[in-house]
Amino acid sequence: MDQEAARKCILIVDDTPENIDVLLGILGEQYKIRIALNGEKALALATVEPPPDLILLDIMMPGMNGYEVCRRLKGDVALSSIPVIFLTAKGKDEDEAMGFALGAVDYITKPVSPPVVKARVETHLALDDQKCHLESLVRERTAQLKKTRLQIIRRLGVAAEFKDNETGMHIMRMSHVCQLLGKAHGLRDEHAEVLLNASPMHDIGKIGIPDDILLKPGRLDTEEWHVMQKHTIKGALILGQHSSEPLKTARLVALTHHEKWNGEGYPEGLAGDDIPLAGRIAAIADVYDALISKRPYKDPWPQDKAVDLIRGEAGKHFDPDLVALFLKHLPEIERISVRYADGEELRPGRQAESGVNEETT
């Protein structure tokens, strides 16, 4: 960066040209200066890119006064972080209090002392630099933490796959369909993203199912089936109680992805809206993808047949409103299937654990 570009920019706002001349004399050599003779012009100049690094603001001006200018600057997210120093003849305590209450970093009374103006401007620019640096450090560290946390969560999902018949691609497709259905349902992007990151762990509880049941080639007897159903509760136990959204949602999905809208699911037999939304969404995404996937115990279903089953289960297995959204967004769901198509050989046969899979495949 050349020296000129590196020079900080100060916006001076004052309706009296003599005052501006004085400030130009004090600061003009060291800084780039923008000048506004009234409040409206000040707001306009504050939005010119790159924004000024600091604003020296007179209070008593015809039209919009300095307090109002400051109020508007602080109310605009794009401008609110620019430090404002009031520079005014209004020297009463209440005037100063008002200035600070509006968010100014400093208050200098006229007539000004050049060394004081210079020193205060320098100090506040340095403080602002420091603040920006710390904020960017915090942002960077927070992003790193978030990334690490998501990686750990995803690796947990991978751990579950080692004991499961489900391929990594099933997890990818299923979690993307969860995100899509969440968005279609009206969730904000960040909440739909939580679903994307949480749903891969829906079957983490299978880690806790004995191999002789999980790997049994034939049908499970009643007792074994009961043990198998426990993967929901075990999943919730493994994931534990947390305040972090992805883990909280992951726990809910693990616990409730086999509940059914009509109350005939497991582990608790919850019905309707008592089933958390994340669980209702995961149920559709999981079953649909299981149907169209090749599994060691079944061929993939054609998409039409799988869609018919989902449609037919509206109000029985699945939330009817979510089924309607599923049908509305079928083209996007199909794109997800193509994008994350299975590319690797399936592992040896494992048990199905979804009611629909079990009864229909």
Smallest distance, Fe ion to C-beta of residue 259, A? 11
In whole angstroms, the minimum distance from the beta carbon of 231 to Fe ion comes to: 6
Residues 273-292 that bind Fe ion (CB under 5 A): 286
Tokens 């009206």, located at residue: 186
Closer by beta carbon to Fe ion, 58 or else 286: 286
Least distance in Å: CB of 222 to Fe ion?
18
Query: Shortest Cβ distance from residue 250 to Fe ion (Å)?
Result: 13
- Decide whether 38 or 354 has the Cβ nearer to Fe ion: 354
Burial of 70 (0-12, 13-18, 19+ CB in 10 A): buried
Q: Which 286-345 positions form the footprint of Fe ion (CB under 5 A)?
A: 286
- The span of 14-22, 67-75, 315-323, 350-358 binding Fe ion (CB under 5 A) equals 350-358
Looking at residue 56, the DSSP 8-state letter turns out to be: E
120 vs 260 by CB, closer to Fe ion: 260
Q: How far is the CB of 212 from Fe ion (least distance, A)?
A: 18
Tell me the C-alpha distance between 187 and 179, whole Å.
Answer: 9
Measure CA of the first residue to CA of the last residue in the chain; give whole Å.
66
Residue count, binding to Fe ion (CB under 5 A): 4
Q: Does 203 bind Fe ion (CB under 5 A)?
A: yes
Cβ neighbours for 74, distance < 8 A, ≥ 6 positions apart: 80, 84, 102, 103
Q: Cβ–Cβ contacts within 10 Å for residue 123, how many? A: 13
Per the CB < 8 A criterion, the answer to whether 226 and 206 are in contact is no
Name the strand (E) or helix (H) holding 175.
helix 168-184
- Select 41 or 173, whichever has its Cβ closest to Fe ion: 173
Report the amino acid identity of residue 243.
S
Q: Are 53 and 82 in contact (CB under 8 A)?
A: yes
Q: Of 156, 171, 352, whose CA–CA distance to 238 is shortest?
A: 156
Question: Which one of 22-30, 142-150, 164-172, 237-245 is the stretch in contact with Fe ion (CB under 5 A)?
Answer: 164-172
Least distance CB 166 / Fe ion (angstroms): 5
> 15 or 353: whose CB is closer to Fe ion?
353
Which residues are near Fe ion by CB under 5 A? Answer: 166, 203, 286, 353
